[in-house]
Structure 1
Amino acid sequence: MSGSLLVRRVLAISSGVVLTATGCAFDGLNSLPLPGSVGRGPGATVYHVEIANVSTLESNAPVMINDVIVGSVGRMTVKDWHANVEVSVQPGVRVPANAVASVGQTSLLGSMHLQLNVPLGQIPSGGLEPGATIPLSRSSTYPSTEQTLSSLSVIVNGGGLGQIGDIIHNVNDALSGREEQIRSLLTRLDTFVGTIDAQRDKIVSALHGLNRLADTVAGRRAVLTEAMHTIPPALDVLVRERPRIAAALKQLGIFSDTAVGLVNDAQADLVRNLQNLGPTLRSLADVGPGLNAVLAYATTAPFTQNFIDRAVRGDYVNLFAEFDITAPRMKRALLMGTRWGEDGAPLVPAPGEPAYLGYTKDPLGVGVIPPPPPPAPHAGLEPAAPTSDVPATDGTG
């Protein structure tokens, strides 16, 4: 009796200790740290992982990094509609700071485990601090075998997988006997796609141009709005003036018919006049370079542009000029070739000429006052020839 009483007392005390240690709750053996679990014991590092769906993951499930077991899953609680999983990793194992958590299945019918790997294409960097939490945005759950089989059953039974055979037979019937047409269509499609690919840069440039146009239109939104408000009254004015515009167009048509008739009637004369004008225009074109020089000289007369560039140094120039507009000079120069011209008309002597000293402006003195004798020649020299044939008077009566 004493032995059985001792056994009952030991069981009662053990049960009390277990209940006290588990918070007066018992969720099975997996809720307790099992002996031999990896990552348990002194020196282990504890992390937390937020997972939306843990599937059939249980406590004491293995934690793997690069397919190597480095720890085990601890307590799992619910927080804000997602699971907060405690992860215990054995000492000396470094968990990368950019690691993501994934709940997966070890084999087709195996148990679940938790993976702590870096994303594909990234290099492990840094390390998680003890007690750090991997957030919900960096965790995921792989489909389980049951979910995969149920999805496949939906596709096979409720989907259109059974109709694939019918589709294949119908496509074969549609293409039978039309191989040449299908081959030609494929060739054209290949050419079309090749042409589009060759014009890809232009298409992209056109799209960029449309984008710039859209930006410009967006920047002129106020102007376009004002134009939209202004155009309707202008259209109303055009509607009111439509009878007058129609009448004007009708009269313009009549004028066009009249002009066409006149051109047709005068066509031969017009062509003949243009042909006769051809030599004149050709001659004018021949004297083109000379005409340019004359027009250039007309703006700088009585000097040439070369003289002005070389002689005039400043903004003004002194000029002393005498203009001879006497009747004899006009007859022998400007009026030559007209009815008033006279070739060889006696000229008025200029100052400094010998005949100027005996020249008189009195018409009564013509023929009365003899001209002065020529100067005596020097000894031993022939007498000088007369330097001017200008008479002593201007010949006016």
Structure 2
Amino acid sequence: MNARVLRTLACAIVVVMLPAGCGLPDLADLPLPGGAPKGDGYVVTAEFSDVLDLVPQAAVKVDDVTVGSVQKISLAGWTARVTLRIGADVHLPSNATAAVRQSSLLGEKYVTVAPPPTGAAAGRLADGDLIPLSRTARGAEVEEVLAALGLLLNGGGLAQLRTINQELGAALDGREPAVGDALDQLDTFIGGLDKQKADLVRALDALDRLSGRLDRQKQVLGDAVDSLAPGLTVLGAQRAQLTRALTALDRLGDVGTRVVNRSRDDTLADVRALQPILEQLTRAGDDLPKSLDFMLSYPFPPNVTGAIVGDFVNLSLTADLDSASILANLVAAAPAAPTRPRTPAKGATHGGAPAAGGAAPTVPRPGGGSRPLPDLPILKCLPDPLNFPATWTPPKDCLLPKGCVLLKPGSKVPIGGLILPKGLVPPGTVFPVGTELPSGTVLAAQCVLPLTGAVIGQIGTLPDLLSEGLQP
């Protein structure tokens, strides 16, 4: 059925459907073709995919006002090119759109030109401009509307629509609140998506770039997947061995847990036993590394290498020949020996053991005879490390030599005195070896045991020493 037959059938249907007392419009009332602008104008070209039955001299309208006419219709490939002449006083944007419309149901076709429906108008349409195919459209024909209506009415799906409507009614019956809540949640979801539209667009753009990179590296990915095949084959062949290894590892973990639990106490005891060793190493400080450094160059100091020039060594010696200091250092090493033996108090100890026979221990003297050795103190003979006074005088029952006092760290060292840089009492004093005192504690000269050589020093000033001489 061609277009002319369809148009005739449509006219007949319309005439039949008109109510009584109404007739066809008077031909004098129908708009006549044409509408060329008066005076000067400009010519533009519009491209259409289909111009229907548009003819030359058809009207060109803007907002249903005739502003020009169709001058020429030509074909360029599969695109229709329509030449429009528009009045010079009509101003249109350069991004204007064009469409083929129909004045009425049986009226003529015309071209309407309008600003873009979306976006802002830009520029001005001038003579010789082109309205491309992307900005043109056409209206639906009566035949197309009737054909679609006939398809819908003639088994086109009304029965299915009725069934769908009934099923929807039965499904939603009694569930209106739930459906309403679902629609509200859907509205909230759509609103959230709309607010995150920019983020979604960026995510899609990033996914597009990732897909592009993966596409460019398709060969590399393919080679990587192909290279995995031999490894997967080996793993599949050794699956049984791997399973047994994992099972054995699980058993090993159980055994290790039992061993750790059972040896926990011994391990803690070993760690606690290491504490004294670590404390002594800490007290040693940098003495150990310094001694190791000196050991490499023994008997010379480590900096002796700078003094070695060829086959000789440069040495620089500074001697302090102050006679008073020399004599004081020689004879003030220990306090004078007591003139008579003392009887120790009951229960007094020397080195942790009672003195034999209740008498104080003696040391040999040059030329025969002996002299008593001072008794070592007990715990009460030591000061409180947390409340160390400026001068600590031990109680009389400690049986320490007269004048044996302890000076607070930082005090001036008297002649013949001894300073404890590490806080541990060395051998040769009236205190047990290894007694802990605050670092820097000063021992008076009377606290140092007398020398056992041929000469016993005597404490005194230089005139006393020079007048009396050394006392054996």
Stretch moving more, 227-236 or 102-111: 227-236
Match of 2:451 among 326, 333, 346: 346
Task: Tell me the secondary structure at the aligned position of residue 76 of structure 1.
Answer: strand
Stretch moving more, 162-171 or 196-205: 196-205
Match of 1:123 among 121, 124, 128: 121
Q: Distance in 1 between matches of 2:456 and 2:275?
A: 55
Task: Check whether the contact 1:100–1:117 (CA below 8 A) recurs between aligned residues.
Answer: yes
Q: Distance in 1 between matches of 2:33 and 2:185?
A: 70
Q: Distance in 1 between matches of 2:83 and 2:199?
A: 57
Cα gap change, 1:319/1:169 in structure 2, threshold over 3 Å: closer, same or farther?
farther
Q: Who is 2:22 aligned against?
A: none
Q: Who is 1:163 aligned against?
A: 160
Match of 1:66 among 52, 63, 67: 63
Q: Distance in 1 between matches of 2:44 and 2:197?
A: 52
Q: Say if 2:176 is the partner of 1:141.
A: no
Match of 1:107 among 104, 109, 114: 104
Q: Distance in 1 between matches of 2:195 and 2:34?
A: 63
Q: Distance in 1 between matches of 2:209 and 2:467?
A: 92
Cα gap change, 1:320/1:386 in structure 2, threshold over 3 Å: closer, same or farther?
farther
Q: Say if 2:281 is the partner of 1:176.
A: no
Cα gap change, 1:332/1:225 in structure 2, threshold over 3 Å: closer, same or farther?
farther
Q: Distance in 2 between matches of 1:242 and 1:384?
A: 99
Q: Give the TM-score normalised by structure 1.
A: 0.51
Task: Tell me the secondary structure at the aligned position of residue 56 of structure 2.
Answer: coil
Give the CA RMSD over aligned residues.
5.7
- 1:327-342 to 2 correspondences below 5 Å: 332=428, 337=433
Unaligned 5+ residue runs, structure 2?
1-31, 293-305, 308-314, 319-425, 435-447
Q: Distance in 2 between matches of 1:281 and 1:260?
A: 24
Task: Check whether the contact 1:38–1:90 (CA below 8 A) recurs between aligned residues.
Answer: no
Q: Say if 2:94 is the partner of 1:97.
A: yes
Cα gap change, 1:113/1:221 in structure 2, threshold over 3 Å: closer, same or farther?
closer
Q: Per-residue displacement from partner, 1:230-250 (whole Å, max 9, x unpaired)? A: 444444555565665556556
Cα gap change, 1:297/1:205 in structure 2, threshold over 3 Å: closer, same or farther?
farther
Stretch moving more, 157-166 or 66-75: 157-166
Q: Distance in 1 between matches of 2:225 and 2:134?
A: 50
Stretch moving more, 168-177 or 184-193: 184-193
Q: Per-residue displacement from partner, 1:126-170 (whole Å, max 9, x unpaired)? A: 2322x5544444332122344334323333434323433332222
- 1:1-397 to 2 correspondences below 5 Å: 37-39=34-36, 43-120=40-117, 121-123=119-121, 125-129=123-127, 131-178=128-175, 182=179, 227-238=224-235, 245=242, 248-249=245-246, 251-252=248-249, 255-256=252-253, 258-259=255-256, 266=262, 270-271=264-265, 274=268, 291=282, 295=285, 332=428, 337=433, 344=449, 346=451
Cα gap change, 1:39/1:215 in structure 2, threshold over 3 Å: closer, same or farther?
closer
Q: Per-residue displacement from partner, 1:43-100 (whole Å, max 9, x unpaired)? A: 4544443333222323332211233211222343444344333433345444543333
Cα gap change, 1:126/1:185 in structure 2, threshold over 3 Å: closer, same or farther?
closer
Cα gap change, 1:70/1:387 in structure 2, threshold over 3 Å: closer, same or farther?
farther
Residue identity in the other structure for 1:346: L
Aligned residues: 298
Percentage of pairs with the same residue? 27
Q: Give the TM-score normalised by structure 2.
A: 0.45
By percentage of residues, which structure has more helix? Answer: 1
Cα gap change, 1:50/1:295 in structure 2, threshold over 3 Å: closer, same or farther?
same
Residue identity in the other structure for 2:125: G
Task: Check whether the contact 1:50–1:85 (CA below 8 A) recurs between aligned residues.
Answer: yes
Cα gap change, 1:299/1:64 in structure 2, threshold over 3 Å: closer, same or farther?
farther
Offset of 1:115 from its aligned partner?
Answer: 1.3
Residue identity in the other structure for 2:149: L
Q: Distance in 2 between matches of 1:377 and 1:176?
A: 125
Q: Distance in 1 between matches of 2:137 and 2:461?
A: 138
Residue identity in the other structure for 1:110: G
Q: Distance in 2 between matches of 1:92 and 1:224?
A: 65
Residue identity in the other structure for 2:126: L
Task: Check whether the contact 1:104–1:144 (CA below 8 A) recurs between aligned residues.
Answer: no
Cα gap change, 1:162/1:87 in structure 2, threshold over 3 Å: closer, same or farther?
same
Task: Check whether the contact 1:38–1:89 (CA below 8 A) recurs between aligned residues.
Answer: no
Q: Distance in 1 between matches of 2:469 and 2:198?
A: 89
